[in-house]
Amino acid sequence: MNNPTQLSLLQDEIRHRYETLSKRLKQVARYILDNSNSIAFDTVASIAAQASVPPSTLIRFANAFGFSGFNEMKQVFRQHLMEETVNYTERARLFRQTATDDSVAPEKPAEILNVFTMVNAQALQQLAMQISAEQLDRAIELLNNAENIYVIGLRRSFSVASYLTYALRHLERRAFLIDGLGGMFTEQLSMVKPKDVVIAISYSPYAKEAIELVELGAKQGAQQIAITDSQVSPLAAFSDVCFVVREAQVDGFRSQVASMCLAQTLAVSLALNNAKDL
């Protein structure tokens, strides 16, 4: 079983909605489903010509699936290439292949630092606008009332999960990091109860072990908080609170600044909430 990605979820949605699309949009849908490997490299004009539609139809198609424009949709295909490429040197090469005139790759360390600083600042501004006060209040309420808190974060999510577990322990909360040591993922979450909270952190490509664990948590009746990168993430369906975090990325390398900021916000907010009760 392959881990679901934003691209695979988008492709599934296109297939699911195919019969409801107009004739022109069906042409775009067929081309995108049949040529997913080339979408990241081709220009909008080239894709439109090969799909036998005007460029404006590509924009309408992207809008129909929740994107502000077709270039934003192309980023899903581009990111998929990066995710499938484990070697960082190869990722850098792919970035240069898919870069457009307005996305020249930084080369020198100082340039990379400047770019990461800029895009992370933008990601943090977006985080503050995308996360509602109601979501934060609900998450703090769940954490405050939890008897036990289980934190799941695998692969690139592990650092965020580790920090959050560390912070919760400093608040004297019964927090447990599900790291699957010895392959015991299920065993580590087997004692979860309805009065517990499961915090699951996963980004595309979503770790299948994380999905299996949130399904187990749901069966056990636990409350769930998801930190992920899409409203259609597999984690979202099981969550009581779903935080969608758009991380900054440069050359296909994604940051974790926004996710760490959210984790710290939850920890400090819980600490201040506890102080009120003293």
pTM over 0.75: no
Question: Looking at the domain assignment, is residue 52 inside a domain?
Answer: yes
Domain boundary among 64, 98, 132: 98
Residue 59 maps to a domain: yes
Band of pLDDT at residue 134, cut at 50, 70 and 90: very high
Which of the two residues, 227 and 76, has the higher pLDDT score? Answer: 227
**pLDDT-above-90 percentage for the chain:** 33
Kindly report, residue by residue over 4-33, the tens digit of the pLDDT. Answer: 677 888 888 898 888 899 999 999 998 888
CATH of the domain at 149: 3.40.50.10490
Beta strands of 220-271 (E only): which ranges? 223-228, 241-244, 249-250, 253-254
Give tens-digit pLDDT for 202-217: 987 788 888 888 888 8
**CATH, residue 33:** 1.10.10.10
| Boundary residue ending a domain (98, 132, 159) | 98
130 and 11: one domain?
Answer: no
Q: pLDDT band for 96, please (50, 70, 90 cuts).
A: low
For residue 74, tell me if it sits in a domain.
Answer: yes
Q: Is the residue at 49 inside a domain?
A: yes
* Sheet of 223-228, strands arranged across: 175-178, 149-153, 197-201, 223-228, 241-244
The count of domains in the chain is 2
Inter-residue contact 166 to 153 (CB < 8 Å): no
On whether residue 230 sits in a domain, the answer given is: yes
Q: Which domain holds residue 129?
A: 123-277
With tokens 């920890």, the residue in question is 267
Residue 53 lies in a domain: yes
